[in-house]
Amino acid sequence: MTLGVQLPSRAIGAPLDRIDGPLKVTGAARYAYEYPVAGVTYVFPIQSTIAKGRVVSTDARAARALPGVVAVLSHENAPRLRPVDIPVIGQRDQDLAVFQSDVVTYRGQVVAAVVAESLEVARQAASLVTVRYEEQPHDVELRADRGDLYAPETLVMGIETDTTQGDIAAALAAAPVSTDRTYTTPAEHNNPLEPHATVAVWDDGQSVTLYDANQGADWIRAEVAEAFGLTPEHVRVIAPYVGGGFGSKAFAHSHVILAVMAALVAGRPAKLALTRQQMFALTGYRSPTIQRIRLGAERDGRLTAIAHDVVAQTTTRFEFAEQAAVPTRMMYAAPNRRTTHRLARLDVPENTWMRGPGECPGMFALESAMDELAVACGLDPIDLRIRNEPSVDPETGHPFSSRGLVACLREGAERFGWQPRDPRPGMRADGRWLIGTGVAASTFPVLQQPAAARVGVDQGGRYRVRIAASDIGTGAWTALTQIAADALAVPPERVHLEIGDSALPQAGGAGGSSGTSSWGWAIVDAAQKLRARLRDEFGGVVPAEGLEATGAFETNPEAQRYSMHAFGAQFAAVRVNQDTGEVRVPRLLGVFAAGRIINAKTARSQLLGGRTMGLSMALHEASVLDPRFGDFVNHDFAEYHIATNADVGAVDVAWIDEDDPHVNPMGAKGIGEIGIVGTAAAIASAVYHATGVRVRDLPITLDKLLR
Ligand code: MOS
Task: State the DSSP string of 552-607.
Answer: EE---GGGGT-B-EEEEEEEEEEEEETTT--EEEEEEEEEEE-BS-SBHHHHHHHH
Whether residue 581 has its Cβ less than 6 Å from ligand 1: no
pLDDT at 347: 98
Strand order across the beta sheet in which 303-315 lies: 163-165, 336-346, 303-315, 289-297, 177-185
Whether residue 358 has its Cβ less than 6 Å from ligand 1: no
Whether residue 562 has its Cβ less than 6 Å from ligand 1: no
Q: Which residues of the chain have pLDDT under 50?
A: 1-2
pTM of the model: 0.97
CA dist., res. 488 & res. 494, Å (int): 10
Q: Which ligand 1 atom minimizes the distance to the CA of 215?
A: 4
Angle between helices 359-377 and 679-691 (to 10 degrees): 30
Whether residue 445 has its Cβ less than 6 Å from ligand 1: no
Q: Is the CA virtual torsion 530, 535, 540, 543 positive or negative?
A: negative
CA dist., res. 358 & res. 341, Å (int): 11
Residues annotated as catalytic (active site), given as ranges: 673
CB 598 within 8 A of CB 671: no
CA dist., res. 224 & res. 252, Å (int): 8
DSSP 30-89: PPGGG---TT-EEEEEEE-SSSSEEEEEEE-HHHHTSTTEEEEEETTTPPP----EETTT
Whether residue 675 has its Cβ less than 6 Å from ligand 1: no
Q: Which ligand 1 atom minimizes the distance to the CA of 190?
A: 2
CA dist., res. 261 & res. 41, Å (int): 12
Q: List the residue whose alpha carbon is closest to atom 4 of ligand 1.
A: 247
Q: Is the CA virtual torsion 423, 424, 426, 428 positive or negative?
A: negative
Whole-angstrom CA distances from 135 to 1, 497, 500, 655 are: 58, 53, 43, 55
β-pairing, 53-59 with 130-135? Answer: antiparallel
pLDDT at 5: 54
Whether residue 195 has its Cβ less than 6 Å from ligand 1: no
Q: In angstroms, what is the C-alpha Rg of the chain? A: 26
Phi-psi region of 157 (alpha: psi -120 to 50; beta: other; left: phi over 0): left
CB 340 within 8 A of CB 325: yes
Probe target for ligand 1 pocket from 470, 671, 673, with the most ligand atoms within 8 Å of CB: 673
Q: Which ligand 1 atom minimizes the distance to the CA of 355?
A: 2
The H or E element containing residue 360 is helix 359-377
Omega before 420 cis (within 30°)? Answer: yes
Mean pLDDT over each residue of the chain, to the nearest integer: 97
pLDDT at 9: 76
Probe target for ligand 1 pocket from 251, 353, 606, with the most ligand atoms within 8 Å of CB: 353
Length of the chain: 707
Q: Which ligand 1 atom minimizes the distance to the CA of 247?
A: 4
pLDDT at 205: 82
The residues near 642 (Cβ < 8 Å, ≥ 6 apart) are 191, 616, 620, 621
